[in-house]
């Protein structure tokens, strides 16, 4: 019996096949195609990166002012000192007196004259031939040298199996018709070029990833992704789902009609429009898969409640899942208030429930006694079994990560059914992100705020004016209004030295003795948080000091002022979500962004943007450029691979091109679809169906 060999360093990096190595593309290049004499290298000017070579005439380890290796090399023209502050015994051996080495690095002024610090060093013979192409520098893990990766990549590029995998199979006629120009190489040529660009290559285009070779690779990657998403969309339409048509019979739409009558407001035009789209989806015999976008306070919850009502009118259960207990509990309290008078049994399920209460909730869900179930990710645990789930609503869905969807399949009689899915997000998805990662979803947007909602005035204030801000809060509370004071940390951090929630709570309690100050943060137990929030809602607490646990789901119309302390530490989306907690009543609403100096350029731009606009889509685009798609989708934490070679903003035009070619392949060349997916995604095709 063979013993299983431990994975090699390359395998740990995922470089376990010729294709994986071929697609491990360089992050930059070094030009080792030119060689200068030491004299010419020195004359090229300080801080110029240059390559030279010579004989080692001196090598010594000094201990003043710190341990370092000093090596002197010379040729017929001059000598040059090399300095290494970190070095291994193997490097000392490589640069022993008498060795001939080729070095590349920046020439700079040192304490003892001109030198190179930590140059790249290679032992060579004096007449060693120069490379004819630029030298690739690859992304690498600790302990893996560039030499090992380069050798493995070069070997992979010679493999006949790889040449076969990279062979051109997209129809020539289609490529000529659809591609923007004829200067894109075929895939094998493009990948070989990126690993071994000639000395005269346009290095800026290579680094910017706008070179025709890069364009071909990016197009192929996007094409595979678009095919996968479009096929997933098509597969979903072949699945069966219960049909929830709007009944003209009043007794059959009792819950839906009852809810509409009981609401203390009229739906806005935008809500009516998206409800019509969702209602149309629910009447289909295949599962709805819709993303409902709407800025903070636009009224997404009401639309979700109407969808749940229609499912329940047809005898099915509906479930609402939210990422945090506070948000889930807000949904629970709101929907309980709406639905219980209509005779609906609403169940609550979260991780913090006592064992007995959790078991009771699970039994109600399994028996069908609970018609509407609201909770956190506890709803997708294996111990939860639904009797007859017809609709799953997932709020702030990007926070769950791409795989955590409430996709339930179950038998109703002899038929296998899938539940309808409605995902909601108050963080608008930038158009390019929607095109690439949500191409298999239908998207609805509530682009109108309910009447009476006033715009929020955002002000940017230095932390040095803290006393003025506290005085302003006092005046505000004196009018009978309430306020939030948001802090980024719970306990003192020696590293960040920020005002903490606990410290701010103590200071504000002393500064505002006439008012009740409350404190809520992530480390409080569920029932403690609930008690504080209930007291704030009832105006028993006038000022709520909080961490970002109040980012979503808190609805207190009388709280119209928010102070965000150390606003420079928060991201675009966080501040946009936080300030959405105010502006929910009839009072003028203000959000104060208090920052500590000095401000970085990025933080300055961020605060300026947030002061100038409350348009969620503008903010989302800026957030995408700053953080990238992985964080916005919740995929970075889950470890799922994102697009590796495409920048969604720089390469937006490529997405539409890939979509058009994907449509043609799916329509006219189904035989090639599997080959394209296998080449690019391998086992990851399932990920894109999530």
How is the chain split into domains, by residue range?
34-130, 250-446, 456-613
pLDDT above 90 for 539: yes
**Block residue for tokens 């709407």:** 294
pLDDT above 50 for 465: yes
Which pLDDT tens digit goes with each residue over 207-245? 999 999 999 999 999 998 889 888 888 888 888 999 998
What's the pLDDT at 690?
38
What's the pLDDT at 118?
92
Which pLDDT tens digit goes with each residue over 599-629? 888 888 888 888 887 777 677 767 666 655 5
Lowest mean pLDDT, pick from 338-347, 357-366, 378-387: 378-387
pLDDT above 50 for 115: yes
| % of the chain exceeding 90 in pLDDT | 39
Query: Rounded to the nearest 5 degrees, what angle is found at the Cα of 187, between the Cα atoms of 402 and 205?
Result: 85
Topology agreement, domain 34-130 and domain 250-446: no
- The fold for domain 250-446 equals Rossmann fold (3.40.50)
d(CA 282, CA 588): 39
CATH classification (class only), 34-130: mainly beta
What's the pLDDT at 401?
47
The single-letter DSSP state of residue 201 is S
Which pLDDT tens digit goes with each residue over 477-518? 999 999 999 988 655 554 454 557 888 999 999 999 999 999
pLDDT above 50 for 194: yes
d(CA 116, CA 133): 24
Lowest mean pLDDT, pick from 41-45, 64-68, 451-455: 451-455
d(CA 528, CA 521): 10
Whether residue 275 contacts residue 329, with contact meaning beta carbons closer than 8 Å, is answered with no
Q: Going by CATH, does the domain composed of 456-613 fall within 3.40.50.1700?
A: no
Q: Which of 255, 422, 409, 417 is nearest to 322 (CA)?
A: 422
Cis peptide before 65 (omega within 30 of 0): yes
H or E element, residue 218 = helix 212-238
Q: 441 pLDDT band (50/70/90 cuts)?
A: confident
Six-digit token string for 140: 């690498």
**Block residue for tokens 């079994």:** 385
Cβ-proximal residues to 191 (8 Å cutoff; 6+ apart), any chain: 22, 23, 25, 157, 166, 213, 217
What's the pLDDT at 554?
65
Alpha carbon distance, N-terminus to C-terminus of the chain: 39
Cβ-proximal residues to 48 (8 Å cutoff; 6+ apart), any chain: 106, 107
Whether residue 440 contacts residue 236, with contact meaning beta carbons closer than 8 Å, is answered with yes
Which pLDDT tens digit goes with each residue over 251-292? 667 999 999 999 888 899 999 999 999 999 999 999 998 989
The alpha carbon dihedral of 205, 207, 208, 213 has a sign of positive
Six-digit token string for 387: 């009797």
What's the pLDDT at 182?
65
d(CA 663, CA 678): 18
Whether residue 432 contacts residue 622, with contact meaning beta carbons closer than 8 Å, is answered with no
SS3 state of residue 576? helix
């Amino acid at each position: 019996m063979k013993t299983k060999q431990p994975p090699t360093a390359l395998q740990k990096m995922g470089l376990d096949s010729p294709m994986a190595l071929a697609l491990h593309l360089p992050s930059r290049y070094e030009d080792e195609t030119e060689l200068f004499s030491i004299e010419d290298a020195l004359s090229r000017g300080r801080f110029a990166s240059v390559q030279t070579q010579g004989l080692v005439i001196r090598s010594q380890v000094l201990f003043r002012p710190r341990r370092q290796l000093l090596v002197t090399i010379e040729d017929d023209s001059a000598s040059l000192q090399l300095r290494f502050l970190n070095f291994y015994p193997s490097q000392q051996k490589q640069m022993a007196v008498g060795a001939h080495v080729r070095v590349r690095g920046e020439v700079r002024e040192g304490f003892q004259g001109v030198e190179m610090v930590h140059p790249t060093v290679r032992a060579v013979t004096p007449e060693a031939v120069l490379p004819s192409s630029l030298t690739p520098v690859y992304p690498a893990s600790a302990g893996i040298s560039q030499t090992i990766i380069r050798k493995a990549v070069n070997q992979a590029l010679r493999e006949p199996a790889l040449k076969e995998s990279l062979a051109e199979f997209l129809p020539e006629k289609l490529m000529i018709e659809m591609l923007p120009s004829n200067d894109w190489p075929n895939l094998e040529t493009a990948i070989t070029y990126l690993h071994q660009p000639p000395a005269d290559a346009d290095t800026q285009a290579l680094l910017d990833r706008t070179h025709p070779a890069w364009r071909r690779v990016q197009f192929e990657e996007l094409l595979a992704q678009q095919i996968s998403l479009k096929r997933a969309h098509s597969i979903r339409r072949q699945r069966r789902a219960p049909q929830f048509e709007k009944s003209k019979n009043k007794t059959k739409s009792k819950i839906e009609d009852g809810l509409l009558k009981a609401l203390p407001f009229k739906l806005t035009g935008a809500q009516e429009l998206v409800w019509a789209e969702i209602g149309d989806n629910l009447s289909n015999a295949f599962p709805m898969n819709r993303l409902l976008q709407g800025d903070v306070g636009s009224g997404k919850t009401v639309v979700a409640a109407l969808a749940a009502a229609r499912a329940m009118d047809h005898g099915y259960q509906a479930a609402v899942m939210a990422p945090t207990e506070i948000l889930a509990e807000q949904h629970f309290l709101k929907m309980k208030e709406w639905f219980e008078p209509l005779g609906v049994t609403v169940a609550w399920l979260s991780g913090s429930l006592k064992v007995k209460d959790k078991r009771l909730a699970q039994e109600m869900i399994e028996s069908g006694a609970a018609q509407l179930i609201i909770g956190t990710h506890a709803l997708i645990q294996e111990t939860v079994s639904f009797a007859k789930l017809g609709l799953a609503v997932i709020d702030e869905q990007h926070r769950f990560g791409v795989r955590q969807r409430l996709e339930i399949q179950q038998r109703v009689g002899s038929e296998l059914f899938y539940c309808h899915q409605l995902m909601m997000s108050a963080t608008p998805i930038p158009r390019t992100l929607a095109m690439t990662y949500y191409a298999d979803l239908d998207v609805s947007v509530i682009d109108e705020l309910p009447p009476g909602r006033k715009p929020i005035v955002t002000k940017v204030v230095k932390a040095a004016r803290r006393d003025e801000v506290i005085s302003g809060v006092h005046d505000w509370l004196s009018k009978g209004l309430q306020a939030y004071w948001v802090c980024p940390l719970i306990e003192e951090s020696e590293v960040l030295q920020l005002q903490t929630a606990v410290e701010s709570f103590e200071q504000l309690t002393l500064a505002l003795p006439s008012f009740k100050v409350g404190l809520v943060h992530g480390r409080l137990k569920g029932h403690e948080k609930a008690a504080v929030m209930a007291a704030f809602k009832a105006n028993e607490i006038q000022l709520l000091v909080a961490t970002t646990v109040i980012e979503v789901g808190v609805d207190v119309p009388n709280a119209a002022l928010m102070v965000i302390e150390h606003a420079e530490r928060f991201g675009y989306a966080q501040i946009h979500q936080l300030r959405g907690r105010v502006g929910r009543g009839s009072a003028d609403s203000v959000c104060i962004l208090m920052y500590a100096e000095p401000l970085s350029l990025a933080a300055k731009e961020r605060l300026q943007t947030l002061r100038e606009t409350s348009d969620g889509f503008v903010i989302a685009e800026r957030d995408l450029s700053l953080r990238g798609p992985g964080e916005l989708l919740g995929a970075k934490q889950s470890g799922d691979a994102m697009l590796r070679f495409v920048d969604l903003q720089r390469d937006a035009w490529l997405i539409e091109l890939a979509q058009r070619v994907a449509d043609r392949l799916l329509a006219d060349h189904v035989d090639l679809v599997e080959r394209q997916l296998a080449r690019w995604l391998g086992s990851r095709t399932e990920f894109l169906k999530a």
